[in-house]
Amino acid sequence: MALRIRVPAHIRSLTPYVPGKPVQEVERELGLTDTVKLASNENPFGPSPKALEAARNHLPSLHFYPEGGGFYLCQALGRHFGIGQDRVILGNGSVELIEIAARALLEPGANAVMSAGAFAMYRIATLAANAEAREVPMAGRTHDLSAMARAVDASTRMVLVANPNNPTGTYNPLSEVARLLEEVPSDVLVILDEAYKEFVDRRDYGTAQGLLERHPNLLVLGTFSKVYGLAGLRVGYGFGHPDLLALLHKVRSPFNTSSIAQVAAIAALGDQSFVKNYVAFNRVEMAYLCGRLAEMGFAFTPSVTNFVLVDLPGPAEDFYQKLLREGVIVRPMAMSGFPGSIRVTLHRREGNDRFLKALAKVCGKS
């Protein structure tokens, strides 16, 4: 029987987000073993042992509902980042906070301004709310924040900025972000999505957290999925004015972060040496991988994150499929407007070498 339920046109026409393929799925489909996943910007070292221990210790309490608002995690985040606990909100991954904001603010006739080459979920969350996704061309591979400010009109409810950006790995200096906030009217929400902030070591980069005091229309997002290695637990956070958070809480589901995610995240936050080691390691591997790519004659976008956008001599989807057959999972980036590029997450040296070798093979350079 065919499905006959009536679906609104804006949902029918939505193209869903395509996540990175899990290792097990690829191995099952292609009959491979020993596959390496470089597709979702995950931490190649796994979670901090302290987070694992906290999660394990929590198992006997799984019959209880979690703290609805995540009191202790908000407290820990507040302490760690030097911000009032009343200015912290949790999400089932930071992506849920984007969806919550879209649900709270968007409606037919309204628009959200974003960069054409930004994280694809901005567009999807906007279209799912039946609003217009107003995509502004990038300046090269970096957000053009002045053009984004100019794209704001009386129907704009949100401006979304990934800083650093996924999938380009580029960033905008804090001074540009501060200017954007001066230029965007104060009745428009500005979301600064800083999922990769911990990896950046540029003097002119900074979190927008310091701008919160001056701009109650600002929401700054962070996540435990990347540097903290807890992507599977789905926990992210937002910082904003208490009145803004009260608005978001209205459309947040009551237990949106699990109890186990909350305790693991608190422990992960307390293990900053784990974070430091990974960030330092990532920097070495970034220099190595980019050096090798340059030697091999590949063009790529210099990145301040834990991934690199590599340009290929043909449709990225084809190279993605060929790399899959070599047991290397990357991400073709047509979804974000880069049909000739793959995004590769840095791994440990062995994984990075596997990628380089497979890439050379599928491009006929080995």
Ligand X SMILES: Cc1ncc(COP(=O)(O)O)c(C=O)c1O
**In the chain, which ranges are E strands?**
36-37, 88-91, 111-115, 132-136, 156-162, 189-193, 218-223, 236-240, 299-301, 307-311, 328-329, 331-333, 338-345
Closest to 147 measured CA to CA, from 118, 111, 184, 122: 184
CB of 34 to ligand X, least distance (A): 25
Select from 51, 95, 177, 312 the one that contacts ligand X (CB under 6 A).
95
139 three-state secondary structure: strand
CB of 231 to ligand X, least distance (A): 5
The two tokens of residue 321 are: 């499929």
Determine if 41 is a binding residue for ligand X (CB under 6 A): yes
**In 141-208, which ranges are E strands?**
156-162, 189-193
Interface stretch with ligand X, choices 93-101, 174-182, 241-249, 290-298 (CB under 6 A): 93-101
Determine if 172 is a binding residue for ligand X (CB under 6 A): no
Residue 196 or 356 having the CB closest to ligand X = 196
The two tokens of residue 80 are: 């760690």
Determine if 47 is a binding residue for ligand X (CB under 6 A): no
Residue 306 or 326 having the CB closest to ligand X = 306
User: Would you give the binding string for ligand X spanning residues 101-140, x where CB under 6 A is met?
Assistant: ------------------x---------------------
Residue 127 or 221 having the CB closest to ligand X = 221
Contact, 156 vs 147, CB < 8 A? no
CB of 128 to ligand X, least distance (A): 15
CB of 230 to ligand X, least distance (A): 9
Contact, 169 vs 342, CB < 8 A? no
CB of 95 to ligand X, least distance (A): 3
Give me the amino acid identity at 168.
T
Residues in contact with ligand X, total (CB under 6 A)?
Answer: 13
User: Would you give the binding string for ligand X spanning residues 211-250, x where CB under 6 A is met?
Assistant: ------------x-x-----x----x--------------
Determine if 93 is a binding residue for ligand X (CB under 6 A): yes
The secondary structure of residue 22, as a DSSP letter, is P
**Exposed / middle / buried, residue 76 (Cβ in 10 Å: 0-12, 13-18, 19+):** buried
Phi, psi of 190 (to 5 degrees): -110, 120
Contact, 224 vs 66, CB < 8 A? no
Which residue minimizes CB distance to ligand X?
Answer: 93
Residue 335 or 363 having the CB closest to ligand X = 335
CB of 162 to ligand X, least distance (A): 4
d(CA 289, CA 276): 20
Tell me which residues touch ligand X (CB under 6 A).
41, 93-95, 119, 162, 166, 193, 195, 223, 225, 231, 236
